[in-house]
Structure 1
């Protein structure tokens, strides 16, 4: 086709490009072996491109309309007419042959937009065929008699389109990579926010400990109530015996007094009966003393029960009421016993006087008969009071036994609550470990995504740094929980972490170092790393309370750093 003169052959040597261009293009341009001559050749096709501009554009969008999903993307974000204007502008820029920052920014913008709207790369690269369809035949027709120039022009066109596609696709890939990194960062930050396990575990530990204390107190109360119940039963049994003895005593005294009345005419027999009366009264005094001892003992038991009930707080309130009633009954019994004792003492004194003045009783016998009859009535009242005390004591014993059973049940339930709390604490701890494992797994994927991204914009890098910062705080939190291991060698200073390395490099970039928020970053960042180290050593020394208190300070510092990073990202954008 080109005749015997032959086409241009590729040079065997690798040439260094003579084009003035940004550093970021050096590698690509060198790989494509582009030179200033190639850029000059591109200017030669400008008339051809202008001639076929509308045909290329019309053909391109006619093809796009054949695919419904592509039209849906276009209709969602723009219009065909607006895209046609942008496409013409792009085609017109091809022959200009100037590889500067504006050129790179324009191509990168195309990749970013395509990534944003979800246009797959194959559709973009396919659009270059529309250029080839019209320009290659036109170039061949124009330079058919100059084969060497023809090959040079075609090669220059292919080089610039290849360079364009490299920049666009790299930008597209970087933007997509950042989307993955950003989504992983968002998920990781959501996991990081699940940081209440320590608070829950501490609360459960305190609750379990309190339940244990209550359980111990309940056991002590149960033992005390059992003792009270046993004592109450013993008192009730003693009261029953006392009632029987008092009834028997009453019958004996009544029989003696009846005999005394029948011996009105027999003085000697009266003296004998009086001696029996004195003896019986002494026995009654002993019975009354027993009753007094029982009343005192009951009062003491009621007081002890009130004290134990007070220690049990809400759990002992019911028993406290019962104990108070027991104490009141004991006081009443004591008062009755005092009255009985006084009466018996009077009777005893009178009986002695009767014995000593037996000879005088004949003159006053009628009066003494009346007094004797009164004594029988009083003795009946005494026996009745003793029976009342006995019944009350029996009721107290029954209540004490019921309370003993209730406190045993309370103690058992508290023990079960403590067991359940320990199980809940174990489940919460396992859940915290599972969340930590999930976070660690997501972080591994997040780190892998970052390493596979060739280049990141400053605002994207700041987004990653923000996640890193939150993650460091979370690692420390899990270190305090015992889930995460931190080697002291990992505790680098504020110039050796990802943010610190970027900060040091950015100091030499006036467009960053002069920003207001940039100047506010170093101080809190240094404080953060110093505080992290302090918390680490507190945990290692077992000073967990100091570590937790210092962690609150770290939270405040962290919020300041995040605020500055957000401001810096806005200023960079």
Structure 2
């Protein structure tokens, strides 16, 4: 006799429990209660395992057939593991799942799965789809095996779904927390790197210096251009005068050539005169000889006249006429003697003059000879001078041309420098814009980081210290950017070292393992110094004492580095 078995209502299978009889941590117990998971649920899962475990390998095989159809998942597997290894892990998961022994070990295995998925960057969507696929296999097998027992089928299927949902929620929650933590750390590290970008000030100041330098270069090129133009004018003037000097030298050479010809002619005339002077000397000597002969004749005549006078006296009257003649002859002889003496005196004077003239002529001859030699040397030297002056004139002409080229080049440099000046102004403008953009990006990233902090993803003291370090560096970064003209931070905003996030953390109820650290005790003084320097820097900035504020910022950097070192030491000691 056949009868129809009554199927239980779905309300019975989904009835809300008042409390879970499984206790394992506050959070996990709440989840079990929310999903209506009890020990009976776990027993149903174990009972379902009797039907599912025989198909364990087949389910895993079909599971990875689907997985391997996704190129993205294949890339993740090939990068971090192998399919064979993952199949073994998947079978172990199914076995543990169907054992349904929710304990700390069970929870930790799911936590580890979530962390691994986060580490390999498997998205939550892919994990959920893959996990649902495995549950789909299990439900399909149960429905096939238990379709004749619908109430049991519903009970076991719902039990599988409940525990699978618990696993999925636990794993994705860990995955999300781990991913958020990873994002938080990445953002913190990126923000810490951004706070090291102190090049904005150097870039802006460098552009400003470059602008000043280009202005100096422009002034220098203008002066240089004026100097070059002046040199060019002088060179042209010198070239013209040198050309005139060359023409004058050529004319001088012609005059010297003519003078040299005249000197040569004088030399020849001198030689002829010298010959005449020598001949005159010879004639004077010959005249002396003639005078001597005449003198001898006069003496003889005088002697004859004396003898004639004696004979005339002896002749008496007859000799008177002869005596007169003899007297006249004697007078003539005396007169001749006197004239000969005068002539001799004159000839001696003439001889002296002739001798002196001869000596002078010899000296003149020597000088003329030297003048001829000197004129020849002067002619050669003048030719060399003219040659050198031609060369100088050519070089000066070249210099004049070169100065014109230099003037053109300087003008080109001036034009290029003007372009550099414009580019430097643009660079300075873009540097300021870039610095401001970087600052705005850091603010947005910090807001993004703070949104992660609101999700309570911080698990331990190391995470808290890492957050505190990032907070401090961002705080200092805001000071730095305020001195660049960004933001609206005021001196009174940084006066208290207990009101900032780091101060609130420092003076909060911390465990002794943190407070007892030597680095923690040193932190307070350094942190207070940072605030003092920041306040002073901003006060000077607000009074437009820019250089003084920058100087104080250097001291702030030192104190800030000390704060970071203390935080890192605390983190390493934990």
Farther-moved stretch of structure 1 (393-402 vs 184-193): 184-193
Q: What corresponds to 1:455 in structure 2?
A: 456
What secondary structure sits across from 1:67 in the alignment?
helix
- Residues 184-223 of structure 1: per-residue CA shift (max 9 Å, x gap): 5566666666654654665663564674576366436525
Task: Output the CA distance in 1 between the equivalents of 2:96 and 2:449.
Answer: 34
Q: What corresponds to 2:130 in structure 1?
A: 123
Q: What corresponds to 2:445 in structure 1?
A: 446
Residues 45-444 of structure 1 mapped to structure 2, 5 A cutoff: 45=41, 47-53=43-49, 55-56=51-52, 62-68=58-64, 70=67, 73=77, 75=82, 79-86=86-93, 88-89=95-96, 108-117=111-120, 118=122, 120-124=127-131, 165-184=168-187, 196=199, 199=202, 205=209, 208=214, 211-212=217-218, 215=221, 218-219=224-225, 221-223=227-229, 225-226=231-232, 228-230=234-236, 232-233=238-239, 235-237=241-243, 239-240=245-246, 242-243=248-249, 246-247=252-253, 250=256, 364-379=360-375, 381-382=377-378, 384-386=380-382, 388-404=384-400, 405-406=402-403, 407-409=406-408, 411-412=410-411, 414-416=413-415, 418-419=417-418, 421-422=420-421, 425-426=424-425, 428-429=427-428, 432=431, 435-436=434-435, 439-440=438-439, 442-443=441-442
Q: Is the alpha carbon distance of 1:471 and 1:228 closer, same or farther for their aligned partners in structure 2, counting shifts above 3 Å? A: farther
Displacement of 1:53: 4.3
Residues 449-528 of structure 1 mapped to structure 2, 5 A cutoff: 449-453=448-452, 454-457=455-458, 458=460, 459-460=462-463, 462-463=465-466, 466=469, 484-488=486-490, 491=494, 493-505=496-508, 507-510=509-512, 512-514=514-516, 518-519=520-521, 521-528=523-530
Displacement of 1:374: 2.8
- Is the 2:192–2:473 Cα contact (8 Å) retained in structure 1? yes
Displacement of 1:236: 1.3
Q: Is the alpha carbon distance of 1:466 and 1:392 closer, same or farther for their aligned partners in structure 2, counting shifts above 3 Å? A: farther
Task: Output the CA distance in 2 between the equivalents of 1:499 and 1:183.
Answer: 20
Structure 2: runs of 5+ lacking an equivalent: 1-5, 69-73, 274-352
Task: Output the CA distance in 2 between the equivalents of 1:262 and 1:419.
Answer: 78
- Is the 1:222–1:408 Cα contact (8 Å) retained in structure 2? yes
Q: What corresponds to 1:275 in structure 2?
A: none
What secondary structure sits across from 2:62 in the alignment?
coil
- Residues 380-430 of structure 1: per-residue CA shift (max 9 Å, x gap): 544654554454345335434534525425534543553454355356546
Task: Output the CA distance in 1 between the equivalents of 2:437 and 2:91.
Answer: 47
Q: Is the alpha carbon distance of 1:443 and 1:23 closer, same or farther for their aligned partners in structure 2, counting shifts above 3 Å? A: farther
Displacement of 1:364: 1.9
Task: Output the CA distance in 1 between the equivalents of 2:59 and 2:441.
Answer: 42
Displacement of 1:229: 1.6
- Is the 1:250–1:380 Cα contact (8 Å) retained in structure 2? no
Q: Is the alpha carbon distance of 1:184 and 1:229 closer, same or farther for their aligned partners in structure 2, counting shifts above 3 Å? A: same
Q: Is the alpha carbon distance of 1:16 and 1:50 closer, same or farther for their aligned partners in structure 2, counting shifts above 3 Å? A: closer
- Is the 1:212–1:418 Cα contact (8 Å) retained in structure 2? yes
What secondary structure sits across from 1:123 in the alignment?
helix
Return the TM-score normalized by structure 1: 0.57
Task: Output the CA distance in 1 between the equivalents of 2:107 and 2:543.
Answer: 55
Task: Output the CA distance in 2 between the equivalents of 1:181 and 1:25.
Answer: 25
Task: Output the CA distance in 1 between the equivalents of 2:170 and 2:193.
Answer: 34
- Is the 1:57–1:84 Cα contact (8 Å) retained in structure 2? no
Displacement of 1:231: 5.3
Q: Is the alpha carbon distance of 1:85 and 1:56 closer, same or farther for their aligned partners in structure 2, counting shifts above 3 Å? A: same
Task: Output the CA distance in 2 between the equivalents of 1:58 and 1:132.
Answer: 14
Displacement of 1:2: 8.6
Residues 26-41 of structure 1 mapped to structure 2, 5 A cutoff: none
- Residues 330-360 of structure 1: per-residue CA shift (max 9 Å, x gap): xxxxxxxxxxxxxxxxxxxxxxxxxxx9xx8
Q: Is the alpha carbon distance of 1:443 and 1:215 closer, same or farther for their aligned partners in structure 2, counting shifts above 3 Å? A: same
Displacement of 1:120: 2.0
Q: Is the alpha carbon distance of 1:24 and 1:190 closer, same or farther for their aligned partners in structure 2, counting shifts above 3 Å? A: same
Task: Output the CA distance in 1 between the equivalents of 2:504 and 2:519.
Answer: 17
What secondary structure sits across from 2:176 in the alignment?
helix
Displacement of 1:368: 1.9
Q: Is the alpha carbon distance of 1:189 and 1:539 closer, same or farther for their aligned partners in structure 2, counting shifts above 3 Å? A: same
Q: Is the alpha carbon distance of 1:18 and 1:231 closer, same or farther for their aligned partners in structure 2, counting shifts above 3 Å? A: farther
- Is the 1:219–1:408 Cα contact (8 Å) retained in structure 2? yes
What secondary structure sits across from 2:246 in the alignment?
helix
- Residues 83-136 of structure 1: per-residue CA shift (max 9 Å, x gap): 54455556656667xxxx999777644433333342523434666678888999
Displacement of 1:371: 1.6
Task: Output the CA distance in 2 between the equivalents of 1:542 and 1:120.
Answer: 58
- Is the 2:225–2:410 Cα contact (8 Å) retained in structure 1? yes
Q: Is the alpha carbon distance of 1:125 and 1:94 closer, same or farther for their aligned partners in structure 2, counting shifts above 3 Å? A: farther
Residues 544-555 of structure 1 mapped to structure 2, 5 A cutoff: none
Task: Output the CA distance in 2 between the equivalents of 1:166 and 1:78.
Answer: 25
What secondary structure sits across from 1:455 in the alignment?
coil
Calculate the aligned-residue CA RMSD, in Å.
Answer: 5.8
- Residues 527-559 of structure 1: per-residue CA shift (max 9 Å, x gap): 444444555556666666656665555555555
Displacement of 1:432: 4.0
- Is the 1:254–1:376 Cα contact (8 Å) retained in structure 2? yes
- Is the 2:270–2:365 Cα contact (8 Å) retained in structure 1? no
Task: Output the CA distance in 2 between the equivalents of 1:487 and 1:531.
Answer: 14
- Is the 2:495–2:531 Cα contact (8 Å) retained in structure 1? yes
Task: Output the CA distance in 2 between the equivalents of 1:18 and 1:94.
Answer: 13
Aligned length: 460
Task: Output the CA distance in 2 between the equivalents of 1:77 and 1:431.
Answer: 55
- Is the 1:180–1:449 Cα contact (8 Å) retained in structure 2? no
